[in-house]
């Protein structure tokens, strides 16, 4: 995969104890990278990082709040001398942004600035992929996918923090990384509504579903007709790795932003997603799996889609899984977790899903899979 580029390379992942960070750590470990984690704490009490003892897969792990400790962050990154850096550390939940807006802004905006400032300070070249979110766009609920050139913004603190993070990335690029003023290169990646095994984030639809069903309870959903670009966690991760691979060889991608989302067939309503998951879970009647409970706790977009033509044309990246495959990957992981106490068995399931994902990509002749 990726022509063995990551084999033997030193890679930092910020937010490695999060959902996407945990999967990315495992994948890079399988690619032969020396993986170093920087993270404050897992996003939920039950989490993939601790459940699978993923710290054992890391070369080093630094537990630190990146927003409040810029000098310590810089010291850690300088000591590691990374070849690659993936910045995933964030406050990832819309609901939490209403409860603690300043923490959300501090983590997502200032934390990103601190990482970029440290990258700027490195004496050697660091290829860096800075991850934000599809929520970074000023979502007018248009019936088209948002392109990378669309206006940034947001009607809630979380979305605003992601739009602001993108502006910070842009300003750092023009101030420091453009025209090789400094050694490193950066690019941003935008994806969202990621599902898959190992996620127990608060107020997230799939974790709420499997937690309820495991207790033989119905899931309460707020907005059944809201449409999202659902994708398995491995989809954007293949995009991040592809972007890092291309950026390593092509400085013309320095400062660019890319969307990584599913094809139109995976733009489904919440209700369609839950019915698909419940069927795989084993419900005879999908309507028995959920009830609708409308709330006005916070604003949620009714429609959000991404246009990924740029990633397709420039990076030769495309989504890999069909909607049903995404459902199967996700449900099968959780069913394994709730029916098995052996960490090694669940870890093997996780690694096998990465291998199965790569096999599907190879059958489609995706260049990164070879």
Quote the crossing angle between the two packed helices 323-339 and 205-214, to the nearest 10°: 40
Q: Note whether 9 and 33 are within 8 A (CB).
A: yes
pTM for this predicted structure: 0.96
As a whole number of angstroms, the distance between CA 157 and CA 57 comes to: 34
CATH number at 2-191+232-263+306-369: 3.40.50.720
Residue 8 in tokens = 């033997």
Distances (CA, A) of 263 to 144, 243, 330: 12, 18, 18
Closest of 275, 289, 292 to residue 327, by C-alpha: 275
Which pairing describes strands 127-131 and 231-232: parallel, antiparallel, or unpaired? unpaired
Q: How many CB atoms neighbour CB 151 within 10 A?
A: 10
pLDDT tens, N- to C-terminus, the chain (370 residues): 999 999 999 999 999 999 999 999 999 999 999 999 999 988 889 999 999 999 999 999 999 999 999 999 999 999 999 999 999 999 988 889 999 999 999 999 999 999 999 999 999 999 999 999 999 999 888 878 899 999 998 889 999 999 999 999 999 999 999 988 889 999 999 998 899 999 999 889 999 999 999 999 999 998 898 888 899 999 999 999 999 999 999 999 999 999 999 988 888 999 999 999 999 999 999 999 999 987 666 555 557 889 999 999 999 999 999 999 999 999 999 999 999 889 999 999 999 999 999 999 999 999 999 8
Helices (H) and strands (E) in the chain, counts: 13, 13
Domain ranges of the chain: 2-191+232-263+306-369
């Amino acid at each position: 995969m990726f022509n063995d580029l990551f084999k033997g390379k030193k890679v930092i992942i910020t937010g490695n104890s999060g959902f996407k960070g945990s999967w990315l750590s495992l994948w890079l470990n399988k690619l032969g990278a020396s993986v170093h984690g920087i993270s404050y704490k897992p996003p939920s009490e039950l989490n993939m990082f601790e459940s699978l003892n993923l710290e054992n897969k890391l070369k080093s792990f630094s537990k630190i709040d990146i927003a409040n400790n810029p000098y310590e962050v810089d010291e850690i990154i300088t000591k590691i001398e990374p070849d690659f850096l993936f910045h995933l550390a964030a406050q990832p939940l819309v609901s939490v942004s209403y409860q603690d807006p300043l923490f959300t802004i501090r983590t997502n905006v200032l934390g990103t600035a601190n990482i970029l400032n440290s990258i700027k300070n490195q004496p050697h070249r660091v290829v860096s992929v800075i991850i934000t979110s599809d929520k970074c766009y000023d979502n007018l609920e248009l019936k088209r996918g948002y392109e990378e050139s669309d206006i940034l913004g947001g009607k809630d603190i979380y979305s605003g923090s992601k739009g602001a993070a993108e502006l910070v990335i842009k300003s750092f690029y023009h101030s420091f990384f453009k025209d090789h003023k400094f050694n490193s290169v950066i690019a941003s990646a935008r994806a969202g509504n990621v599902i898959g095994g190992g996620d127990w984030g608060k107020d997230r639809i799939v974790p709420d579903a499997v937690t309820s069903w495991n207790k033989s309870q119905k899931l309460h959903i707020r907005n059944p007709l809201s449409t999202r670009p659902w994708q398995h966690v491995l989809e954007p991760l293949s995009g991040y790795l592809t972007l890092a691979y291309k950026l390593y060889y092509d400085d013309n991608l320095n400062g660019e932003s890319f969307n990584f989302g599913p094809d139109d067939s995976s733009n489904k309503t919440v209700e369609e997603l839950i019915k698909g998951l419940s069927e795989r879970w084993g419900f005879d009647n999908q309507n028995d799996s959920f009830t609708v409970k409308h709330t006005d706790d916070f604003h949620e977009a009714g429609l959000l889609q991404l246009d990924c033509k740029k990633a397709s044309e420039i990076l030769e990246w495309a989504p890999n899984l069909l909607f049903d495959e995404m459902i199967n990957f996700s449900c099968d992981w959780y069913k394994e977790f709730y029916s098995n106490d052996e960490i090694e068995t669940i870890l093997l399931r996780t690694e096998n899903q990465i291998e199965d994902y790569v096999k599907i990509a190879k059958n489609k002749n995706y260049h990164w899979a070879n």
